[in-house]
Structure 1
Amino acid sequence: MSEGNAGRSALQILGDGLRLYRRHFRSLVAIMAPPLLLSLVFFLAVPSGPEPDGGEAASLWRSAPLAVLQLLDLFLFLLAPAAVVVAAATAAAGGPPGFRTSYGRAWKAGWKLLGCYLLCWLIVGLGWLFFALPGLVAAVYLAFALPSVAVEGQGPWRALRRSAGLVSGRFWPTAGRLLLYLLLFFVTGLSLNLLLAGVASLLGFPEPLLVMIWRGGDAVATASGFSAQFLQSAAVGNVVNTLVSLLLLPAFLVLLVLLYLDLRIRKEGLDQATLAAELAR
């Protein structure tokens, strides 16, 4: 973190973020892993073809555990980004980002996080529904609602107001930085997907589904369900997408946290001691 009220440039924040991510790579990836891996296991484990008829009781017996797993996965997707934000902020404050402490803080803010997500989706979604531009503006102003909840413990409405207050007066620089980082991660994600797809093909696995469709492959549904080629390609595609998401999502959240901290440094003179005290509450 910079001293006083001196902010960092977009490239400086990018460099700081990559160094922090590299230094704490295993911890950050481990924190983001549970929902992504559970989704992958769920996809690979659920049969996609017709099942033998065992009656209503047997069908309920099979579907109940899957419903529980889906709810657990949704719950983890609620907590995991907040836990990564806590870990990144802890690292920026000079502390060690721990799995249990990060998830513990996210767990305590569970209802606040849920309310924050719902309000953000509602406001941004309404903006996109009527006109694209209001949705984009709302997305920028509310970009730091998650760190406001996870780091400062703000409630849903306060987090939205807090985020908008931080962005106020620096809308265009903030929008430009977010756009730059999103484009960077889009290009990196696409490149990694193609690279891993090539590696999978060299190892004898089918092409990922999107690659196969793009190349005009036979990805069709039959009368008894999806074709074997379709299912195999979908499975490989899900594995590849999970690996790419596991690498890139924590890195993007690190940059989001550093942007949030940069705005607080510029406007409030935030220092490491103050940040550490907030995380200790």
Structure 2
Amino acid sequence: MSPTSFPPPGAPPPEDDGPTPQPTYIPPPGIAPPGHPVPPGLPTAPPAPGMLGAAHRPGAVPLRPLTLGSMYDGAFRIIRYNPKATVGAAALVTAIGMSVPIVLSLLFTLTLGTGLDAGGSPEDDLSAGEAIGLLGSVGALLLGLYATQLGLIFVTGMVAHVTRAAALGRRMSLGEAWAATHGKRWRLIGLSLLVGLGGLLLISLLVVPVVLVAVLTGEVLATVGLAVVVGVAMVCLFGWLWIKLTYLTSAILMLEDGGVFRALGRSWRITGRHYWRTLGIALLTMLITSIAAGILTTPISLAGQIGTVLAPEYVFVILAATQALASVIQNAFVTPFAGAVSSLQYLDLRIRKEGYDVELMRQAGLLPR
């Protein structure tokens, strides 16, 4: 029987000669073999041929162009292995910010009586003190929400550093993540203010024509038609600018050198030819986090509504407390997950367009520096 022919039917199986010996990888002269101690001054050998596929994932994600599944899997891994710097940071910031409306609403209720009188009628006029307390409670809630959003801006910057460290196989504590944002926190605030002012300016420019048509012509049909056209144009314009200028800018500010305007320019360039893919992943992430947040916070909202019926005199305290608890639970999941996904998209785009995976492998010790 020739060596390449199959055995006849009924013949015993060939004896197992053991595993096929693998060729020994010998590194170039002057380089230490993989797995051996590296003498001082001697560089480490790169991975053996054929072994790069098994070694190119030192951390949460593979160091190659990422798929959607790799991004979502990596985001969950980042949260799981860095809980204090992700979930803990978001929950802590939200709890501190939302403690403001709880304390002030309780103070107004006890001193000015801002609750609802179960025996009163809706037509009863509010006293001056009750009106002040009511406005104060609403203002305190808005203040708490604003303070929370301001703190979450810093959490997003921390998550960017945590994501890059996780891609290299490293964990960051809460203190390390906070320290990594040193020197760039004001840039995050400046970016948020610039984006907010730019958004208000664009809205004003788009709304003015509708108002002018309504005032000058008085035609309801023309006004409604123009409003629909302007509304569609506004959604498209803001969606385009969101991806091109703002979606990845926080990660760029944190992980690269430069100011706000340089980060905006980098975002514009890095999303070139990848707009629709970036938009699709961003919208899908927004949909997933919105559904998850609704599922997590619905029981708390129902409990708050029941509480206001049972204790109407403390209605604003109960509403502030339930809003605070719902915000803590929601932000503890949404902010780290969305921030990790957007940071992974930034790394993915740099890998695709700039070969950033080679630099990440060097930083992870997979390739010689």
- Fold match, TM over 0.5? yes
Identity between Structure 1 and Structure 2 (%): 20
Task: Report the equivalent of 2:352.
Answer: 266
Task: Report the equivalent of 1:49.
Answer: 109
Cα RMSD over matched residues?
3.2
Q: Does structure 1 conserve the Cα–Cα contact (< 8 Å) formed by 2:85 and 2:174?
A: yes
1:95 maps to amino acid: R
1:141 maps to amino acid: K
Q: Does structure 2 conserve the Cα–Cα contact (< 8 Å) formed by 1:208 and 1:234?
A: no
Q: TM-score by structure 1 length?
A: 0.74
Bigger shift: 144-153 or 91-100? 91-100
Question: Displacement of 1:208 after TM fit?
Answer: 2.6
Q: TM-score by structure 2 length?
A: 0.58
Task: Report the equivalent of 1:11.
Answer: 69
Q: Quick check: 1:249 aligned with 2:335?
A: yes
1:39 maps to amino acid: G
Task: Report the equivalent of 1:203.
Answer: none
Q: Quick check: 1:138 aligned with 2:241?
A: yes
Task: Report the equivalent of 1:113.
Answer: 188
- 1:167-182 → structure 2 map (5 Å cutoff): 167-182=271-286
| Distance across 2 between alignment mates of 1:95 and 1:194 | 36
* Structure 1 pair 179–128 and aligned structure 2 pair: CA distance change class (3 A): farther
Q: Quick check: 1:208 aligned with 2:304?
A: yes
- 1:1-281 → structure 2 map (5 Å cutoff): 1-3=61-63, 6-46=64-104, 47-49=107-109, 51=111, 76-129=151-204, 130=206, 131-142=234-245, 143-197=247-301, 207-209=303-305, 227-271=313-357, 272-273=360-361
1:20 maps to amino acid: I
Instruction: List runs of 5+ in structure 2 lacking aligned partners.
Output: 1-60, 113-139, 207-233
Question: Displacement of 1:49 after TM fit?
Answer: 2.9
Corresponding residue SS for 1:107: coil
Q: Does structure 1 conserve the Cα–Cα contact (< 8 Å) formed by 2:90 and 2:331?
A: no
Q: How many aligned residue pairs are there?
A: 242
1:158 maps to amino acid: R
Structure with higher Rg: it is: 2
Instruction: List runs of 5+ in structure 1 lacking aligned partners.
Output: 53-65, 199-206, 220-225
| Distance across 1 between alignment mates of 2:81 and 2:179 | 22
* Structure 1 pair 253–274 and aligned structure 2 pair: CA distance change class (3 A): farther
1:225-246 Cα distance to aligned partner (Å, 9 max, x none)? x842343244223212222211
Task: Report the equivalent of 2:25.
Answer: none
| Distance across 2 between alignment mates of 1:156 and 1:275 | 26
1:34-90 Cα distance to aligned partner (Å, 9 max, x none)? 3211112212211233747xxxxxxxxxxxxx9xx9798676444222112222222
Q: Does structure 2 conserve the Cα–Cα contact (< 8 Å) formed by 1:85 and 1:147?
A: yes
Q: Does structure 2 conserve the Cα–Cα contact (< 8 Å) formed by 1:31 and 1:80?
A: yes
1:141-200 Cα distance to aligned partner (Å, 9 max, x none)? 1211000011113310011111111111111111011000100100111011124456xx
Q: Does structure 1 conserve the Cα–Cα contact (< 8 Å) formed by 2:184 and 2:254?
A: yes
- Which structure features the higher share of helix residues? 1
2:94 maps to amino acid: L
* Structure 1 pair 195–72 and aligned structure 2 pair: CA distance change class (3 A): closer
